[in-house]
């Protein structure tokens, strides 16, 4: 029994746009809800499996910097030696140490960079794997209506940007802390005041400047990422909508929209770049300022006899040559903005809850029919229900035809039977048989059927068949990865596809263009059907399988369906009376 519902087209349109907006704002909200430090902390957590490499990179980087910083200090020692003053090192030792330090610097710096990039790209692989895992978990319900350009930008550009964090942020911070601590102790060994001055210089350039610039730039990084994603969406739309653009002479408007989005992105990128420049200028000004201060302080101490000439020369040389590690941090004020924004977007998708959790660990269920009992379902809170108190009995080995006006919820019903979404009220169940003394049947709630079993027992043909850029055979094989050529051909015969495929230049090995662009609507539909036949599940859910077909092809398919239904149950959604003739029972929604 099915209930008839009244709902206007406008209401439905509004409902869909609310849902899409909700999906987008959920992702933005997730990104915004996490603080910058929270995001950094979580991103850091991903490095755990590679901690040993990270420690090695820090050790190599620390010694590389120390080596380069002690070269001018050795030069200072040589001057002192030349002036006949006391130094801890003899001239001969200095001459030996200089090339050794240069070599050590080169080798260790190379090692540090190799290790950091190894870590970064291993992590990118891990992150990509997790992002794809998350998308699999979230699909299809949570990805329905999601901005695809935005997703593409997340999967590509955002993940890529994390390289900055993993290769150029974590170990440079550790290296800067260790190296500058050593330098403070070294400079402070001549006079404590000089050590404190050095510490102030490092804190100012490496901590205060990046923090202040990061504060000034606010959420600029997030905005750059957001506008980059917007532009990517717009370009995707331009490519997809090319036919319509030409047909309705809509090109000028699309160019305007694209230009506007490009301008927005450029403005934010320029502002961020200007801030990066300002950041470098401020950092360099402070470096110069502290160099002068060190000359003045050490000079004053020397003139007052508190330190010898070595206590003037060496601390000054040490400070002059030691800003490398903190300068690297100074630029993080803006570069990290972009990275944190990307990290937040990636983490938001990793942490997003799927619409339905996969069910595992339940007893195996055999399909012997299905039932909807008092099902009520809406796509979101506060939205009008698509199904209300809906009843349907799907008897085994029958073809059940479903008809109804556009938008009344036919495709929704199939998605609920696939458990892409969960019903809010009522129950959808699979009729299972079990043996308890005698053989009996019982209804098992679909929420208690293992997801993998459910996918095996159902073959679902959607209203529009998606194609992959591959051969026709492989496009059909996705329904059963180990299918033999004979099985594929058999499925194609049932879907009235075999003869047409044989006319193609490479038969089953012919490549279909991206998204199946080179195929007609009817050909695509029959490929969808061939997949459903090949999957060979006991329960077939077919959404408008014949809407694009001529009556000849329709007849072939209906005959095949009739044959199939002898051992299978078919739920057939169609607007066509001719298709409905094959049904054992017709339901009007
Ligand atoms: N993911 C979604 N989020 C929000 N609303 C949705 C979503 N999917 C479908 N809807 C809305 O739910 C209603 C039922 O959609 P459904 O696709 O089930 O209709 P249908 O009966 O299959 O229509 P048609 O015959 O045109 O294919 C429509 O108003 C549609 O706009
Ligand atoms: Mg539909």
Interhelix angle 220-240/332-351, nearest 10 degrees: 60
151-164 residue pLDDT tens: 888 888 888 888 88
pLDDT recorded at residue 154: 85
Which stretch of 196-200, 260-264, 384-388, 467-471 has the lowest confidence by average pLDDT? 467-471
Q: Label residues 376-385 b or e (16+ Cβ within 10 Å = b).
A: ebbbeeebeb
579: pLDDT strictly greater than 80: yes
CA 337: distance to chain centroid? Answer: 18
Q: Confirm if 507 and 485 have CB atoms less than 8 A apart.
A: no
pLDDT recorded at residue 514: 60
Selection from 588, 145, 143, 146 nearest residue 410 by Cα: 588
Bridge partners for 444 per DSSP: 430
Per DSSP, helices labelled H in 89-208 are 91-138, 148-153, 159-168, 170-188, 192-203
* Ligand 1 proximity of 342 Cβ (cutoff 6 Å): no
Residue to probe by mutation, ligand 1, list 21, 381, 410, most atoms within 8 Å of CB: 410
d(CA 440, CA 434): 6
pLDDT recorded at residue 65: 94
* Ligand 1 proximity of 190 Cβ (cutoff 6 Å): no
The domain limits of the chain are: 35-222+266-351, 369-588
Q: Which position has the higher pLDDT, 26 or 413?
A: 413
98-143 residue pLDDT tens: 999 999 999 999 999 999 999 988 988 999 999 999 998 888 888 8
Selection from 264, 245, 231, 247 nearest residue 152 by Cα: 231
425-460 residue pLDDT tens: 999 999 887 655 566 778 899 999 999 999 889 999
Structure-token pair, residue 269: 């990128």
Map tokens 């120390």 to a residue: 66
pLDDT recorded at residue 23: 37
Compute the mean pLDDT over every residue in the chain, rounded to the nearest whole number: 87
Selection from 68, 72, 50 nearest residue 60 by Cα: 68
1: pLDDT strictly greater than 60: no
Rounded average pLDDT over 566-580: 89
* Ligand 1 proximity of 411 Cβ (cutoff 6 Å): yes
* Ligand 1 proximity of 382 Cβ (cutoff 6 Å): no
536: pLDDT strictly greater than 60: yes
Which stretch of 49-53, 173-177, 494-498, 558-562 has the lowest confidence by average pLDDT? 558-562
d(CA 329, CA 11): 54
Q: Confirm if 185 and 195 have CB atoms less than 8 A apart.
A: yes
Residue 436, Cβ density class (10 Å: 0-12 exposed, 13-18 middle, ≥19 buried)? exposed
56-89 residue pLDDT tens: 999 999 999 999 999 999 999 999 988 888 777 8
| Residues near ion ligand 2 (Cβ under 5 Å) | 411, 463
Say whether domain 35-222+266-351 belongs to CATH 1.20.1560.10: yes
Q: Which position has the higher pLDDT, 5 or 322?
A: 322
Q: Can 35-222+266-351 and 369-588 be said to share one CATH topology?
A: no
Structure-token pair, residue 292: 């002068």
Structure-token pair, residue 119: 């870590």
Among the bound ligands, the one closest to the CA of 386: 1
Q: Confirm if 397 and 566 have CB atoms less than 8 A apart.
A: yes
Q: Look up the pTM and report it.
A: 0.72
Tell me which DSSP letter residue 358 carries.
Answer: P
pLDDT recorded at residue 75: 92
Residue to probe by mutation, ligand 1, list 22, 147, 379, most atoms within 8 Å of CB: 379
287-344 residue pLDDT tens: 999 999 999 999 999 999 999 999 999 999 999 999 999 988 877 877 787 788 889 8
207-259 residue pLDDT tens: 999 888 888 888 888 889 889 988 988 998 899 899 889 988 899 999 999 99
Strand order in the sheet with 539-543: 458-461, 539-543, 569-573, 399-403, 585-588
| Choices 3.40.50.300, 1.10.8.60, 3.40.50.150, 3.40.50.720: CATH for 369-588 | 3.40.50.300
């Amino acid at each position: 029994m099915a209930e008839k519902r009244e709902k206007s087209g406008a209401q439905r349109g509004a409902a869909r746009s609310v849902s899409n907006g909700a999906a987008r704002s959920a992702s933005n909200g997730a990104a915004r809800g996490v603080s910058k430090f929270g995001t950094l902390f979580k991103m850091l957590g991903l490095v755990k499996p590679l901690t040993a490499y990270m420690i090695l990179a820090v050790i190599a980087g620390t010694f590389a910097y120390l080596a380069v910083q002690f070269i001018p200090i050795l030069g200072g020692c040589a001057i002192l030696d030349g002036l006949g003053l006391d130094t801890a090192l003899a001239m001969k030792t200095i001459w030996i140490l200089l090339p050794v330090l240069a070599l050590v610097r080169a080798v260790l710096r190379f090692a540090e960079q190799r290790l950091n990039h190894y870590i970064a790209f291993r992590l990118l692989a891990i992150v990509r794997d997790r992002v794809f895992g998350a998308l699999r978990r979230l699909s299809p319900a949570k990805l329905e209506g999601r901005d695809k350009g935005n997703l593409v930008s997340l999967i590509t550009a955002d993940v890529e940007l994390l390289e900055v964090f993993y290769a150029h942020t974590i170990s440079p911070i550790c290296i800067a802390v260790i190296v500058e601590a050593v330098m403070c102790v070294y400079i402070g060994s001549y006079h404590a005041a000089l050590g404190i001055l050095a510490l102030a210089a490092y804190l100012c350039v490496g901590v205060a400047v990046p923090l202040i610039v990061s504060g000034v730039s606010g959420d600029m990084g997030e905005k750059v990422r957001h506008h980059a994603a917007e532009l990517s969406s717009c370009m995707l739309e331009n490519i997809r909508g090319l036919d319509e653009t030409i047909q309705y002479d809509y090109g000028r408007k699309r160019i305007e929209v694209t230009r506007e989005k490009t301008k927005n992105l450029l403005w934010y990128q320029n502002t961020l770049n200007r801030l990066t420049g300002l950041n470098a200028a401020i950092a360099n000004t402070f470096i110069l300022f502290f160099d002068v201060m060190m000359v003045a302080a050490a000079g004053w101490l020397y003139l007052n006899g508190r330190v010898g000439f070595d206590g003037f020369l060496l601390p000054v040389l040490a400070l002059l040559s030691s800003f490398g590690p903190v300068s690297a941090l100074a630029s993080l004020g803006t570069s990290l903005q972009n990275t944190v924004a990307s990290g937040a977007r990636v983490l938001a998708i990793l942490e997003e809850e799927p619409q339905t959790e996969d069910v595992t660990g339940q007893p195996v269920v055999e399909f012997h029919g299905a039932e909807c009992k008092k099902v009520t379902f809406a796509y979101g809170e506060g939205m009008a229900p698509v199904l209300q108190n809906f009843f349907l009995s799907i008897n085994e080995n029958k073809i059940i035809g479903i008809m109804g006006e556009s938008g009344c919820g036919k495709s929704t019903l199939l998605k609920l039977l696939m458990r892409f979404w969960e019903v809010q009220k009522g129950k959808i169940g699979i009729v299972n048989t079990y043996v308890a003394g005698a053989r009996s049947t019982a209804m098992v709630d679909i929420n208690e059927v293992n997801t993998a079993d459910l996918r095996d027992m159902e073959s679902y043909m959607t209203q529009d068949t998606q194609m992959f850029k591959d051969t026709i055979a492989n496009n059909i094989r996705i329904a059963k990865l180990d299918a033999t050529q004979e099985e594929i051909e058999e499925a194609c015969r049932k879907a009235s596809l075999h003869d047409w495929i044989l006319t193609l230049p490479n038969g089953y090995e012919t490549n279909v263009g991206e998204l199946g662009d080179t195929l007609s609507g009817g050909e695509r539909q029959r490929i969808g059907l061939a997949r459903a036949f090949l999957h060979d599940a006991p329960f077939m859910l077919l959404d408008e399988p014949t809407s694009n077909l001529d009556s000849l092809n329709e007849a072939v398919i209906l005959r095949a369906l009739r044959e199939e239904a002898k051992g299978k149950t078919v739920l057939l959604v169609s607007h066509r009376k001719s298709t409905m003739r094959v049904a054992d029972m017709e339901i009007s929604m």
